[in-house]
Amino acid sequence: MAVTRVEQVMGFPVSVDLRDGEPEDADRVFAWLHEVDLRFSPFRLTSEVCRYDRGELPEVSDDLREVLDLCSRYERDSGGAFRARLPGRPFDPCAVVKGWSVQRAAAMLRDSGLSRFCLNAGGDVVTAGEPTDGQPWRIGLRHPGNANEISAVLAVRDGAVATSAAYERGQHIIDGRTGLPAYGLLSITIHAADLTTADATATAAFAMGAEGPAWAAAQPGCQVYAVDSDYRVFRSPELPVIR
């Protein structure tokens, strides 16, 4: 049976579209994401992340270890453009936690035998199988200048698509190398096999600015669709664009 549901979690809307699932499957997805919000939010003083930051955790959980490792990896690979720890700010792993936690939700669904679903967390998407026989998921990429239009459509079966942009919360992504808001790109979309990779790569590439698209395209398994400040599109030739 088909189940669709939307809830606000971690500060953004999460849409769950299960083509072969039950309402209980959607319940488990949201239960996990709410748990992640409580444990990994840098804005909740009692969260695992805040207590870790204050040195109050007797031991680091496996989940937190995974998140910390991802943060260090993307910080290193992006040459410091991506940083979970900015001077004068609390430790903020949000950019990594979002993709990682939604990818984990997708794995939970697969483990329960679901094979056709689409999870969209604030514009970051992970898909499985086909919505209807013979047809891939059609993922529209939001036009950076117009919220009601899309600029391209990707055809994806099992995979992930994440977008980083400054058109909504303004210049909220900081280039860790300069400490200033990232500039040079209007938006960057990454298509990868999993959302952990796609989301972290998109955030790091956006922080890098103009050199981000080429850097992201060189990351293993990542394909790029980027719009620069002059509204020029740079994309990987192998990106599955259908329109």
Partner 1 sequence: MRRVIPAIVLSAIGFYFVWQYEPGAADDVVAQPPPTVIPSTPAPTTSSSSSSGTTSTPVETTKTVQGSAERNPHGTVQVQVTFTGDKITGVRFLRLPDTGPSRMAGPLLVQETLREQSAQVDTVSGATQTSDSYVKSLQAAIDAKGA
Q: Which residues bind partner 1 (CB under 8 A)?
A: 2-4, 6, 8, 11-13, 15, 17, 19, 118, 120, 122-125, 127, 131, 137-144, 146-154, 161-169, 187, 189, 213-214, 217-218, 224, 226-227, 230-237, 243
**Minimum CB distance to partner 1, residue 78 (Å):** 13
Closer residue to partner 1 in complex, CB, 43/231: 231
| 60 within 8 A of 34, measured Cβ to Cβ | no
Sheet of strand 185-192, all strands in order from the earlier edge strand to the far edge: 3-9, 12-18, 117-121, 124-128, 159-165, 185-192, 223-228
16: left (phi over 0), alpha (psi -120 to 50) or beta: beta
Q: How far is CA 201 from the centre of its chain?
A: 9
Nearer to partner 1, 64 or 97 (CB): 97
Nearer to partner 1 among residue 134 and residue 237 (C-beta): 237
- Which of 206, 236, 203, 191 is CA-nearest to residue 94? 203
Of the pair 97, 165, the CB lying nearest partner 1 is at 165
CB of 47 to partner 1, least distance (A): 19
**Nearest approach, Cβ of residue 61 and partner 1 (Å):** 27
| Rounded least distance, CB 196 to partner 1, Å | 16
CB of 64 or CB of 187, closer to partner 1 = 187
Smallest distance from partner 1 to CB 62, Å: 28
**d(C-alpha 136, C-alpha 206), whole Å:** 28
R_g of the chain, CA atoms, integer Å:
18
